[in-house]
């Protein structure tokens, strides 16, 4: 096994050009694709804790909830596979669509995939808002999932390809900022809609997804495709004009030549889905699987999806539950903004490791706090104010730790380490694995809480230890390295270097480009 400390790849490369307003606004529009994912992540937990919604679509859960007494086991009050399937079905659909989206992204460009995603999501939102029966609800969720899969497949790649490499971290993290903003807005809306007289507020919560859907759908009409995608599809002149605009200079030859060279190398690969399993892509394949799975095994979505349910289980009232989840939503959003200022400065490794330690400590505190009050019987008696504050505080610090490390980096890192020839396929693996684990955590959570009780938090804390060791040992720093010259980070790494062949066209290119 390789040693832990990795010298930063530190490319000596400098492309001329600056950070232009054109690149900024283009990335803001594209990043709005994260809103659809975030809105959905944030809305379902609140909706599934609204009684009129439960009564209409999940009467058995509703009956169980209203019949439970404060002295009963609170850990198990929401344990219903049907209810969790409402939340998690979307992620299965997203998984399927991200696989299809890989081909659309490669053949028709990143922009087309975003547009299609926005449209499907908007239709799904309408179906959900007007749902009369459970079938409409599920079909709507599936369309929403198709939209999310397409957006998550294309937006991170789009941002990383558009960005000048020195600002890639900051611009890519806009995706996480919009995801978390979506979560926060959804929590806020749930809080107010839950109060609507007549109990139809859930329709506004679910139907409100039309707004982010339309933003990305209409917004993508204003976008050009990325230079990399234009070159990949033979539009060299268009790529040159675009590059001049987004870099704000006339002479873009150096960057353009590198992109053309990368594109030529990528043409040698005819079957990205087969080739990605070749030995030379082992580092990328490893990270495209482990980064998303570990991101979900932090346990973050237990809080994102089920914060209201969790707080309610802990004896907080209806309002207090939604309010506390709004606070955690705000924390995660602010943390993403902090990350966009720090990822290019301190590097990805530092954030991964610092975030891991912070999450671990908070999980330990939550375990002790919940074990002390709820024990194994799940009957806490009265919860004093100081106790509630402690738990909410620990959750906020935990969520902030995730919010500036594994959250944004889980999307940034995969989008910057794949060479062009396998980029679309590898990004689909990244999204699918993320969705499988999002699905699994969402589906298993209420049952795990019911059976593992406070042990649930111990489980996630152990996962955080494993993933931090993984990063420490195996992840080389990617900050400041041009995306098409990334081979160099593997070549410089004591463990991964054996997978890079000196004759590899990507490595040759990195050498000529001055990164070696």
464 Cβ neighbours under 8 A, 6+ residues apart? 297, 298, 356, 359, 360, 363
Measure CA of the first residue to CA of the last residue in the chain; give whole Å: 24
Q: How far apart are CA 491 and CA 511, in angstroms?
A: 11
Q: How far apart are CA 354 and CA 405, in angstroms?
A: 8
Q: Which is nearer to ligand BGC, 31 or 488 (CB)?
A: 31
Q: Which is nearer to ligand BGC, 403 or 476 (CB)?
A: 403
List the structure tokens of 277: 């399993």
Tell me which residue has its CB nearest to ligand BGC. 407
Provide the minimum distance between the beta carbon of 301 and ligand BGC in the complex, in angstroms, as a whole number: 5
Q: How far apart are CA 152 and CA 411, in angstroms?
A: 9
Query: What DSSP string describes 127-158?
Result: HHHT--SHHHHHHHHHHHHHHHHHHHHHHHHH
Q: CA 60, 65, 68, 74: dihedral to nearest 10 degrees?
A: 120
Provide the minimum distance between the beta carbon of 99 and ligand BGC in the complex, in angstroms, as a whole number: 18
Q: Which is nearer to ligand BGC, 178 or 506 (CB)?
A: 178
Q: Which is nearer to ligand BGC, 231 or 336 (CB)?
A: 336
Q: How far apart are CA 155 and CA 151, in angstroms?
A: 6
Q: Which is nearer to ligand BGC, 46 or 419 (CB)?
A: 46
Q: Which is nearer to ligand BGC, 17 or 145 (CB)?
A: 145
Provide the minimum distance between the beta carbon of 181 and ligand BGC in the complex, in angstroms, as a whole number: 10
Query: What does R_g of the chain's alpha carbons equal in angstroms?
Result: 23
Provide the minimum distance between the beta carbon of 379 and ligand BGC in the complex, in angstroms, as a whole number: 30
Provide the minimum distance between the beta carbon of 180 and ligand BGC in the complex, in angstroms, as a whole number: 5
Provide the minimum distance between the beta carbon of 437 and ligand BGC in the complex, in angstroms, as a whole number: 9
Provide the minimum distance between the beta carbon of 240 and ligand BGC in the complex, in angstroms, as a whole number: 34
Q: Which is nearer to ligand BGC, 156 or 378 (CB)?
A: 156
Q: Which is nearer to ligand BGC, 249 or 440 (CB)?
A: 440
Q: How far apart are CA 430 and CA 57, in angstroms?
A: 33
List the structure tokens of 124: 């799904």
Provide the minimum distance between the beta carbon of 310 and ligand BGC in the complex, in angstroms, as a whole number: 14
% helix, strand, coil for the chain, step of 5: 80, 0, 20
Q: How far apart are CA 293 and CA 135, in angstroms?
A: 30
Q: How far apart are CA 166 and CA 116, in angstroms?
A: 30
Q: Which is nearer to ligand BGC, 403 or 482 (CB)?
A: 403
Provide the minimum distance between the beta carbon of 408 and ligand BGC in the complex, in angstroms, as a whole number: 7
Identify which of 300, 303, 309 has the alpha carbon closest to the alpha carbon of residue 408. Answer: 300
Q: Is the dihedral of CA 191, 197, 203, 208 positive or negative?
A: negative
Per CB under 6 A, residues contacting ligand BGC are 41, 176, 179-180, 183, 295, 300-301, 304, 332, 403, 407, 410-411, 434, 438
Identify which of 249, 232, 293 has the alpha carbon closest to the alpha carbon of residue 109. Answer: 232
Do residues 280 and 499 lie in contact, with contact meaning Cβ atoms separated by under 8 Å? yes
Do residues 297 and 436 lie in contact, with contact meaning Cβ atoms separated by under 8 Å? no
Q: How far apart are CA 127 and CA 141, in angstroms?
A: 9
Residue with tokens 């000196």: 502
Provide the minimum distance between the beta carbon of 400 and ligand BGC in the complex, in angstroms, as a whole number: 10
Q: How far apart are CA 77 and CA 449, in angstroms?
A: 10
List the structure tokens of 480: 């400041």
Q: Which is nearer to ligand BGC, 179 or 467 (CB)?
A: 179
**Sheet strands (E) in 54-193:** none
Q: How far apart are CA 322 and CA 317, in angstroms?
A: 9
Q: Which is nearer to ligand BGC, 281 or 306 (CB)?
A: 306
Provide the minimum distance between the beta carbon of 129 and ligand BGC in the complex, in angstroms, as a whole number: 22
Q: How far apart are CA 70 and CA 380, in angstroms?
A: 9
Q: Which is nearer to ligand BGC, 241 or 353 (CB)?
A: 353
List the structure tokens of 460: 């996630």
Do residues 388 and 316 lie in contact, with contact meaning Cβ atoms separated by under 8 Å? yes
Identify which of 472, 24, 403, 497 has the alpha carbon closest to the alpha carbon of residue 248. Answer: 24
Provide the minimum distance between the beta carbon of 103 and ligand BGC in the complex, in angstroms, as a whole number: 23
Provide the minimum distance between the beta carbon of 466 and ligand BGC in the complex, in angstroms, as a whole number: 18
Q: Which is nearer to ligand BGC, 113 or 296 (CB)?
A: 296
């Amino acid at each position: 096994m390789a040693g832990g400390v990795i010298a930063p790849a530190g490319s000596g490369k400098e492309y001329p050009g600056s950070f232009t307003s054109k690149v900024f606004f283009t990335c803001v529009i594209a990043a709005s694709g994260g809103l659809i994912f975030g809105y959905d992540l944030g809305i379902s937990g609140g909706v599934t804790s609204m009684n009129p919604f439960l009564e209409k679509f999940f009467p058995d859960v509703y009956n169980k909830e209203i019949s439970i007494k404060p002295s009963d086991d609170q850990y198990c009050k929401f344990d219903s596979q049907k209810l969790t399937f409402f939340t998690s079905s979307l992620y299965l659909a997203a998984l399927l669509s991200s696989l299809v989206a890989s081909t659309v992204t490669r053949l028709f460009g990143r922009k087309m995939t975003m547009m299609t995603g926005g449209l499907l999501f908007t239709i799904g939102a309408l179906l959900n808002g007007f749902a009369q029966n459970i079938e409409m609800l599920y079909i709507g969720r599936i369309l929403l999932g198709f939209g999310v899969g397409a957006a998550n497949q294309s937006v991170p790649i789009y941002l990383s390809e558009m960005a000048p490499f020195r600002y890639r971290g900051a611009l890519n993290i806009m995706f996480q900022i919009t995801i978390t903003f979506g979560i926060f807005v959804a929590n806020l809306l749930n809080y107010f809609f839950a109060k609507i007289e007549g109990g139809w507020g859930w329709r506004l919560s679910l139907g409100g997804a039309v707004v982010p859907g339309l933003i990305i759908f209409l917004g993508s009409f204003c976008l050009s495709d990325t230079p990399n995608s234009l070159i990949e599809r033979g539009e060299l002149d268009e790529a040159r004009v675009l590059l001049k605009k987004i870099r704000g200079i006339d002479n873009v030859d150096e960057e353009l030549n590198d992109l053309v060279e990368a594109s030529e190398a990528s043409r040698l690969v005819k079957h990205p889905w087969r080739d990605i399993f070749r030995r030379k892509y082992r580092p990328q394949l490893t990270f495209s699987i482990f980064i998303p799975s570990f991101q979900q095994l932090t346990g973050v979505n237990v809080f994102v999806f089920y914060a209201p349910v969790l707080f309610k289980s802990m004896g907080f009232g209806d309002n207090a539950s939604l309010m506390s989840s709004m606070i955690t939503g705000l924390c995660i959003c602010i943390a993403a903004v902090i990350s966009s200022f720090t990822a290019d400065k301190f590097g990805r490794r530092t954030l991964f490791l610092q975030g891991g330690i912070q999450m671990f400590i908070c999980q330990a505190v939550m375990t002790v706090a919940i074990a002390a009050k709820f024990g194994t019987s799940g009957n806490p008696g009265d919860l004093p104010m100081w106790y509630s504050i402690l738990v909410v505080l620990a959750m906020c610090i935990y969520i902030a730790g995730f919010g500036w490390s594994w959250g944004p980096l889980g999307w940034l890192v995969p989008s910057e380490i794949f060479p062009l020839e396998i980029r679309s396929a590898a990004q689909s693996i990244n999204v699918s694995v993320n969705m499988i684990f999002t699905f699994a955590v969402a589906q298993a959570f209420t049952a795990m809480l019911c059976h593992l009780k406070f042990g649930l938090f111990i489980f996630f804390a152990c996962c955080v230890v494993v993933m931090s060791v993984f990063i420490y040992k195996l992840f080389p720093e990617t900050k400041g390295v041009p995306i098409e010259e990334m081979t160099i980070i593997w070549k410089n790494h004591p463990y991964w270097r054996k997978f890079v062949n000196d004759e590899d066209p990507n490595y040759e290119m990195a050498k000529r480009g001055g990164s070696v």
